[in-house]
Amino acid sequence: MNRRDMLRVGGGLPAAAASLAGPSRAAQGTAGRKRVIVMGAGIAGLACGYELTRRGHEVMVLEASGRPGGHVRTFHDPFADSLYADIGAEHFYYPGYTQYWKYVQEFGLTPVPYPRRDHLVRFLEGQRFPEEELHSRKVLGKLGFSQKEVDFLAERPWAELPLLYLERYVDQVRDENNPFEPGLRPLDALSTRELLAREGASAASLRFFGGTGSALQTIWAAAVKKLRGTDLESKKLFRLKGGNQRMTDALAARLGQRVHLGSPVTAIAHGPSGVTVTYREFGQERKSEADHLVSCISLVMLRQLPVTPSWPETKAFVIREMPYYTRTRVVFQSRTRFWKKDGVSPNWVPPDPRLNELWSTAEEVNTPRGILLGGAQAGVSAAAALEAFRKLYPGPSADIEHAMVYDWSRDPWAGMCERTSYRPGELARFWPEAARPHGRIHFAGAYAAQMSWGQEAALESANRAAEEIGRV
């Protein structure tokens, strides 16, 4: 992305600077300075604290773990030659990540292209298919697709096949905050698989794309991307040079001593005039009162905290039932970037639970060594992931010299990654309630935004919560 593109993302340098500066004192009206506690110092909590601070509010960020950043985490050790690996948040893209790019510009961070979806290799029906082969009519026919599906995939990306049947519904969503157009609401009662089957999708389409979650949620997620001008599965990916943790490090540095590490919240009491938070710091119980609380922790953690008075059932349902997944991040350090010598794409979507995705990273580091990043189901060991790789890699030159995993499911505070699909019939129970404040308690995180997931969703919800508090 060149400077011209950067400025366009920010809406032009003067306009971007004005928006990033936050509202003026006059714009804040008579609401005045407020005391706000932010619970959680992941990317959402840090961004929310930062936005509140520059709006003139008094902020305290309570983080249970010993580090800020949450799921945005970059490992430099134990890798050689200044190599590194993002074991949490993987990438951002353009267009679609508007708020993220504004912070990239403001903090002077360096984005680098991340071709992790270029020349993608998929493993289907026990066979390895490079991206180019999945445009072959002969190959597609053998996989069992119907003629109109073959015609579609011959010209369009693999991931877009559901749009053959769903795009007419996607185009009916005109407001990314509201998926409940009158004609679409009944689709929440169906799973994606059921809707595709009703629309005439082949058995092959149902096998590869037939999800069990809400069909309307699938349509809504696709509509948000289309409204933002990005692809259903974007290839215009970027990461931060030196690791994506540089974003959360930049936010944390600007908050300074407002971030209290090793301070888990143990109870919340709230009323019409404010919130009282009980937490542990330096091993001792403390209490702090505030005008507002922003919860930026996963709902899996929030549902474990006693809250007085209890949540109303509409909010309790969201907190109790929000679905999440967790995973293991796999990292291979190699003696050489052997895949280049072998002419093999490192970008895979394997079927093995021991290794279900793979790509290369840190290629700008001046060393012959390489880093391959992957994912696996929770609980997979480094040895098992390496065994799966060796079974699947087709070339002769693999020279992996170190393998490690980070199992997020074992993280005591940030074990959940992203939310997954809602059950059919429940989208209206989750949205917009997930983003709606309850009294003086506000909510931010990737689950609380119309963007389906990722760092952008966390940042957008953080900014929304800061604006809500400013308006009270």
Which residue type does 397 have?
A: S
**Which ranges of 94-202 would DSSP assign to H, the alpha helix?**
98-107, 137-142, 147-155, 163-170, 192-198
**389 sits in which H/E element:** helix 382-392
- For the domain 33-64+242-322+419-471, what is the CATH superfamily, name and number? FAD/NAD(P)-binding domain (3.50.50.60)
Name 32's Cβ contacts closer than 8 Å, sequence gap at least 6.
none
Q: Give yes or no for a contact between 437 and 443, defined as CB atoms under 8 angstroms apart.
A: yes
Residue found by looking up tokens 């020279």 in the block: 399
Per-residue pLDDT of the chain (472 residues; tens, 9 = 90+): 454 454 444 443 323 333 333 333 333 333 589 999 999 999 999 999 999 999 999 999 999 999 999 999 999 999 999 999 999 999 999 999 999 999 999 999 999 999 999 999 999 998 999 999 999 999 999 999 999 999 999 999 999 999 999 999 999 999 999 999 989 999 999 999 999 999 999 999 999 999 999 999 999 999 999 999 999 999 999 999 999 999 999 999 999 999 999 999 999 999 999 999 999 999 999 999 999 999 999 999 999 999 999 999 999 999 999 999 999 999 999 999 999 999 999 999 998 999 999 999 999 999 999 999 999 999 999 999 999 999 999 999 999 999 999 999 999 999 999 999 999 999 999 999 999 999 999 999 999 999 878 999 999 999 999 999 999 8
**264 sits in which H/E element:** none
Buried b (16+ CB within 10 A) or exposed e, 123-140: ebeeeebebeebeeeebb
Report, in this order, helix, strand and coil percent for the chain, each rounded to 5: 35, 20, 40
Residue-range domain boundaries for the chain: 33-64+242-322+419-471, 76-106+236-240+325-410, 121-227
Q: Select from 238, 301, 243, 244 the least CA-distant residue to 268.
A: 301
For residue 314, CA distances in Å to 158, 204, 317, 318, 428 come to 38, 39, 5, 7, 11
